[in-house]
Amino acid sequence: MVYSDVATPSALPDACAIQTTDLHRHYEIGGNTVRAVDGVSIAIGGGEFCALLGPSGSGKSTLLGVLAGMDRPTSGSVTVHGTDLASLPRERLAGYRLLTAGMIFQAFNLIPSMTLLENVELPMRFADVERKQRNQLAREALERVGLADRASHRPRELSGGQQQRGAIARAIINHPKILFADEPTGNLDSRTGAEIMELIRNLNQQKGMTVLVVTHERDLATRYAGRMLGMADGVLVEDRTI
Amino acid sequence: MKTWDLLELASRNIRESRLRNALTALGIAVGVASLVSMLSLGIGLQRLASNGIQRSGLLDTLTVLPAGNIGGRGFTGTGRAPIVAPSAEPKPLDEAARLAIAKLADVREVYPNLFLPAEFRLEDGTPHRSAASAIPFSSKDSEAFSSLQGRFFSSGNAAEAMLQKNFAAELVSAGATTSAADLAKRLVGRKLGVTYAERTTLAGGGYSVAFREKTVGIVGIVDREGGEGRGGARGGFGMGVFLPLEYAEGLHVMQGSDLRDGGIGIARGPVYDSLVVRLKSPAKAASAEAAIRKMGFNTFSVVDVTSSLRQVFAVIDLFLGAFGSLALAVASIGIVNTLVMAILERRREIGIMKAIGASDTDVRMIFLAEAAVLGISGGVLGVLLGWSIGRVINFGAGVFMQRQGVPPQDFWFVPWWLVLGALAFSLVASLLSGAYPAARAARLDPVEALRYE
């Protein structure tokens, strides 16, 4: 995989960053079919800040997984910046996760045996970035999220908010066009959660990154997002621009 | 991912579960050590055996005899027509023949098998009848003289003699159990009188015989029982005295052939009983033999012995190698086990790496690199271990052999190709063992792996 310094998304005014048509994702569990995503059609424009709301089990995380290239739809199409993810071979889908999509999680998901700097560097290793350049870019990214002095700490030595900021630094290190966040504030107190949302909004506004945040905190969504998508039982039940 | 990054990640992961990986590497080390020690034992024994044969001169040596000497003279005893019609007389094994053989491409040297019956005595002692054997200077490094007390001849032409231990004991009327070192102390540096029959070719044809006496200096005692090797070929054991070849030739001691082949001898000068031909390499024996036979002489060699010897050792090596590999196979299962465990433990980590963009290939390579690091470190440790085992056994066997009165020999030998081969083998074995766990890790889906707690 060749690393290419992807142009900042603002330079690419895609009318439509993400588009799904009649998207389904079904699971077989114990002989029963679980229709986690059951016919979702949405279009998200480049540079939008969307919040995906819904109760537990509504299918919002499953939808996010499909859009982020971590899962494949059972049927229907999902096109991101003109690429049909459903038909992409495994290696190219990995390339999509590496360079086009950035991902942050509720559980932060930093690798515990690595220092913060190494965690942030990791996607660049997969992208074959030179060691020297890697180190410099990772330090810059940590500085941007306010963790320059924590570079050599292991994740367990950091607070939840610090870990999530580290995870954001890692998610944006390869300059993705879209940032996917799955309950990024779920494990944080409200003040820290607000800080994280603030950081995400900055990325959206300053870098023009398209953002899709899954959350069940409606207040937070209303405060930061420009568009609210609501899900229940696998289908889209709300779509409004604030 | 870049190779260096891979190895760095792999070693970091291995360090994370130190004990388990150390034990796995130790398992490989034991496997490699058993392979190395088994094979080096086989190789060492083979080397010992073939070195012995090589240094005894049997392999690269031919004996040349006059055509008539083997299988009678070409005539049947019944007075009927000869079976093999000789053109005239059999070709004499004389100086001309010696020079002709020496000119053959594969021949290193040719020297006569001289047998010199004589009487020997110390300064004023009583004469003792024995025979001297002429030794070429090139025999200096021969196995036959590895246990020499004193020193070898200073040159091929020196008026010096070495004594066989038993004959030396006889000269000084010492017991047969006196050690060679003791005899050397008593005899080296003393003078030895040699009385023999000299053959002088006469100008008008024929020869005369006269008794002569020479004095030579004793330089060494050869501690070896007589009758070993092929008498005369390189050692001449069974005789009491050894003289340098050129010096012995200069004595013109009358040979048995002078009487037997009287007619020829009188007409053409001295002929030899037999010649010893040393070849440049044992591999040339067959072609050299054919060339010499073409010249009209008989030859004799023991090359065939070694090829069957080699077969025996090939079988021994095969069995030793098979037993050694068995241990490595067990160690390989250990690698599979360790890596499968690692996948279970690091399922979440694999999920994270995939979520942030690692491809199947990246994950597979990380696990293969871990297997390779385990294999190489186990291999290096194993080679060191196997080598040390060899050293210890060499030492132990040496002490044992010394107690038995046998000169100690190294029968454990680790050649470079075995070291490199063992490392390569452990690397390949570990990569093969890592292939399945690595493929399993690579196939994991990120969503599924991240759900796992």
Model pLDDT for residues A169-226, shown as the tens digit of each residue: 999 999 999 999 999 999 999 999 999 999 999 999 999 999 999 998 899 899 999 9
Q: Which of A70, A91, A99 sits opposite B355 (nearest CB)?
A: A70
Q: Are residues B278 and B312 in the same domain?
A: no
B325 occurs within a structural domain: yes
Which has the minimum average pLDDT: A12-16, B30-34, B108-112, B174-178?
A: A12-16
Q: Which of B12, B355, B358 sits opposite A113 (nearest CB)?
A: B12
Q: Which of B357, B361, B446 sits opposite A123 (nearest CB)?
A: B357
A177 occurs within a structural domain: yes
How many C-beta neighbours within 10 Å does residue A13 have?
10
Q: Are residues B46 and B77 in the same domain?
A: no
Q: Which of A71, A114, A126 sits opposite B358 (nearest CB)?
A: A126
Q: Out of A67-76, B144-153, B397-406, give the one with best mean pLDDT.
A: A67-76
Per the structure, the count of domains in chain B is 3
Sign of the C-alpha dihedral computed for residues B423, B428, B433 and B438 taken in this order:
positive
Burial of B314 (0-12, 13-18, 19+ CB in 10 A): exposed
Q: Which of the pair, B17 or A103, is modelled with greater confidence?
A: A103
Q: Which of the pair, B243 or B144, is modelled with greater confidence?
A: B243
Q: Are residues B358 and B411 in the same domain?
A: yes
Q: Are residues B342 and B317 in the same domain?
A: yes
B264 occurs within a structural domain: no
Can you list the alpha helix ranges (DSSP code H) found in B193-302?
245-250, 256-260, 262-268, 285-294
Q: Are residues B229 and B295 in the same domain?
A: no
If pLDDT is split at 50, 70 and 90, which confidence band does B447 have?
confident
In chain A, % of residues over pLDDT 70: 94
Q: Are residues B347 and B284 in the same domain?
A: no
Q: Are residues B329 and B419 in the same domain?
A: yes
Task: Give this prediction's pTM.
Answer: 0.66
CATH code of the domain in which A117 resides: 3.40.50.300
pLDDT of residue B80: 39
Which is nearest to A186 in space by CA: A210, A221, A151? Answer: A221
CATH code of the domain in which B296 resides: 3.30.70.100
Q: Are residues B133 and B35 in the same domain?
A: no
> Is the predicted pLDDT of residue B302 greater than 70, yes or no?
no
pLDDT of residue B73: 39
pLDDT of residue B240: 83
Quickly tell me which residue has 């007589």 as its tokens: B226
B287 occurs within a structural domain: yes
pLDDT of residue B224: 64
> Is the predicted pLDDT of residue A235 greater than 90, yes or no?
yes
Q: Are residues B37 and B91 in the same domain?
A: no
pLDDT of residue B168: 87
CB contact under 8 A, A95 and B12: no
CB contact under 8 A, A111 and B447: no
State the residue range of the domain holding B102: 60-112+271-301
CB contact under 8 A, B356 and A111: no
pLDDT of residue A64: 95
Q: Which of B12, B354, B359 sits opposite A1 (nearest CB)?
A: B359
**ipTM reported for the complex, 2 dp:** 0.90
Which whole number is the average pLDDT over B159-182? 84
Which has the minimum average pLDDT: A5-9, A211-215, B126-130, B383-387?
A: A5-9
> Is the predicted pLDDT of residue B58 greater than 80, yes or no?
no
In chain B, % of residues over pLDDT 70: 83
> Is the predicted pLDDT of residue A14 greater than 70, yes or no?
no
pLDDT of residue B89: 60
Q: Of B262, B285, B301, at which residue does a domain stop?
A: B301
Instruction: Check if the beta carbon of residue B249 is closer than 8 Å to that of residue B74.
Output: no
A55 occurs within a structural domain: yes
B265 occurs within a structural domain: no
Nearest-neighbour CA in chain B from A57: distance (Å) = 14
Nearest-neighbour CA in chain B from A21: distance (Å) = 22
> Is the predicted pLDDT of residue A154 greater than 90, yes or no?
yes
Residues 6+ apart with CB under 8 A from A133: A124
A183 occurs within a structural domain: yes
With beta carbons under 8 A apart, name residues in chain A contacting B446: 70-71, 97
CB contact under 8 A, A91 and B360: yes
Quick: pLDDT tens for A34-77.
999 999 999 999 999 999 999 988 999 999 999 999 999 999 99
Nearest chain A residue to B361 by CA: give it: A91
A34 occurs within a structural domain: no
Q: Can you tell me the distance from the alpha carbon of A69 to that of A94, in angstroms, rounded to the nearest whole number?
A: 8
Chain A residues whose C-beta is within 8 A of a chain B C-beta are 1, 65, 68, 70-71, 90-91, 94-95, 97-99, 103, 105, 109-111, 113-114, 122-123, 125-128, 131, 170-171, 174
With beta carbons under 8 A apart, name residues in chain A contacting B359: 1, 90-91, 94-95, 98, 126
pLDDT of residue A93: 95
> Is the predicted pLDDT of residue B271 greater than 80, yes or no?
no
B48 occurs within a structural domain: yes
If pLDDT is split at 50, 70 and 90, which confidence band does B76 have?
very low
Among B5, B13, B356, most A C-beta atoms within 10 A, so best to mutate, is B356
If pLDDT is split at 50, 70 and 90, which confidence band does B362 have?
very high
State the residue range of the domain holding A166: 47-61+89-241
Nearest-neighbour CA in chain A from B423: distance (Å) = 29
pLDDT of residue A12: 42
If pLDDT is split at 50, 70 and 90, which confidence band does A10 have?
very low
Q: Which of the pair, B445 or B313, is modelled with greater confidence?
A: B445
Instruction: Check if the beta carbon of residue B279 is closer than 8 Å to that of residue B63.
Output: no
> Is the predicted pLDDT of residue B267 greater than 60, yes or no?
no
Nearest chain A residue to B5 by CA: give it: A125
Q: Are residues B215 and B163 in the same domain?
A: yes
B260 occurs within a structural domain: no
User: Mean pLDDT across chain A, nearest whole number?
Assistant: 90
pLDDT of residue B398: 84
Quickly tell me which residue has 């390569």 as its tokens: B424
Per the structure, the count of domains in chain A is 1
Listing DSSP states for chain A in one string gives -----PPPGGGS--S-SEEEEEEEEEEEETTEEEEEEEEEEEEE-TT-EEEEE--TTSSHHHHHHHHTTSS--SEEEEEETTEEGGG--HHHHHHHHHHTEEEE-TT----TTS-HHHHHHHHHHHTT--HHHHHHHHHHHHHHTT-GGGTT--GGGS-HHHHHHHHHHHHTTT--SEEEEESTTTTS-HHHHHHHHHHHHHHHHHH--EEEEE-S-HHHHHHH-SEEEEEETTEEEEEEE-
pLDDT of residue B3: 85
pLDDT of residue A8: 39
Which has the minimum average pLDDT: A37-51, B180-194, B366-380?
A: B180-194
Q: Can you tell me the distance from the alpha carbon of B125 to that of B319, in angstroms, rounded to the nearest whole number?
A: 60
Which whole number is the average pLDDT over B295-310? 72
A5 occurs within a structural domain: no
Quick: pLDDT tens for B88-101.
566 777 788 888 88
Nearest-neighbour CA in chain A from B338: distance (Å) = 18
With beta carbons under 8 A apart, name residues in chain B contacting A105: 355, 450
A10 occurs within a structural domain: no
Quick: pLDDT tens for B315-354.
888 888 888 778 778 878 888 888 888 888 888 999 999 9
Q: Are residues B316 and B434 in the same domain?
A: yes
A124 occurs within a structural domain: yes
Nearest chain B residue to A71 by CA: give it: B447
If pLDDT is split at 50, 70 and 90, which confidence band does B297 have?
confident
pLDDT of residue B225: 52
Q: Which of B349, B362, B447 sits opposite A126 (nearest CB)?
A: B362
Query: What secondary structure letter does DSSP report for B137?
Result: G
B410 occurs within a structural domain: yes
Q: Are residues B199 and B236 in the same domain?
A: yes
If pLDDT is split at 50, 70 and 90, which confidence band does A5 have?
very low
CB contact under 8 A, A126 and B356: yes
Nearest-neighbour CA in chain B from A101: distance (Å) = 8
A53 occurs within a structural domain: yes
